[in-house]
Amino acid sequence: MDSGARRKPSGAAVLRPELTDAIVEITLDELAEKGFGRMSMEAVARRAGVGKSALYRRWPSKQELAVDAMSRLSVPLAEAPDTGSLRGDVRAVLEATLSWLDDPRLGRILTDLVAEARRNETLARALAAAVGEPRRARGEVVLDRAIARGELPAGVDREIALDLFAAPLFWHLGVRLLPVTPEYLDRLTDVLTAALTAGRTGP
């Protein structure tokens, strides 16, 4: 048997998942501590104890590294369970959004990246594709469930509905710098549910 047939091609890179995960965590730390503008591939590699080539084999640029790190952590946090009712689902979405926005590390990173994206159109598009749109797609599942249950009309304004899931919490936490209490979440859930179902006809 030709043992060479089982040998990996010379120079082939094996990307170890555990190293990738460690680099992602370090990247998030760097983004939280320094911001996107001051973060560098060199600093991430040094902190991870690897050469820069280990980073560039996975991410061609600092922007792709930062966006991928945000996506890996942010998108799973948008999942909302099926509670059986629109109000329950809205509350679950708000709780999931709060866990995203209220995270000490993610909160700092998001604020910084939003500001940076206003000056950097390429970064803005990348964040929308990797973070914003996948999170909104998970929000659409909530709307689809409510439509199937007859709680929302098929023609509900999805853009506005999806904005409502995140905007009040972002404003309350990120702009007003106020804590979100369970009572606030209850009131917000009631207001959003009423807003979404306003004008609905039927039983």
The string of pLDDT tens digits covering residues 72-105 is 989 988 888 899 999 999 999 999 999 888 888 8
Q: What is the DSSP letter of 60?
A: S
Provide the 3-class DSSP secondary structure of residue 106: helix
Residue range 75-197 in CATH 1.10.357.10? yes
Question: Could you state, in order of their start, the residue ranges of all structural domains in the chain?
Answer: 13-61, 75-197
Amino acid code (one letter) for 62: K
Separation in Å, CA 145 to CA 26, 98, 99, 125, 138: 37, 21, 22, 29, 11
Pick the CATH number of 13-61 from 1.10.287.3510, 3.40.50.720, 3.10.290.10, 1.10.10.60: 1.10.10.60
Contacts of residue 155, defined as CB under 8 A and 6 or more positions apart, other chains included, come to none
Contacts of residue 92, defined as CB under 8 A and 6 or more positions apart, other chains included, come to 80, 81, 83
Cβ atoms of residues 75 and 131 within 8 Å: yes
Amino acid code (one letter) for 81: P
> In 3-state terms, the chain is what percent helix, strand and coil (to 5)?
70, 0, 30
Cβ atoms of residues 93 and 81 within 8 Å: no
∠ CA 195-201-202, nearest 5°, is 125
User: What is the token pair recorded at 34?
Assistant: 């320094």
C-alpha to C-alpha distance for 94 and 99, rounded to whole angstroms = 9
Per-residue pLDDT of the chain (203 residues; tens, 9 = 90+): 444 444 444 444 567 899 999 999 999 999 999 999 999 999 999 999 999 999 999 999 999 999 999 999 899 888 888 999 999 999 999 999 998 888 888 888 988 999 999 999 999 999 999 999 999 999 999 999 999 999 999 999 999 999 999 999 999 988 899 999 999 999 999 999 999 998 555 44
User: What is the token pair recorded at 95?
Assistant: 């709780």
Cβ atoms of residues 94 and 172 within 8 Å: no
Contacts of residue 85, defined as CB under 8 A and 6 or more positions apart, other chains included, come to 149, 151
Q: How many angstroms separate the first and last alpha carbons of the chain?
A: 74
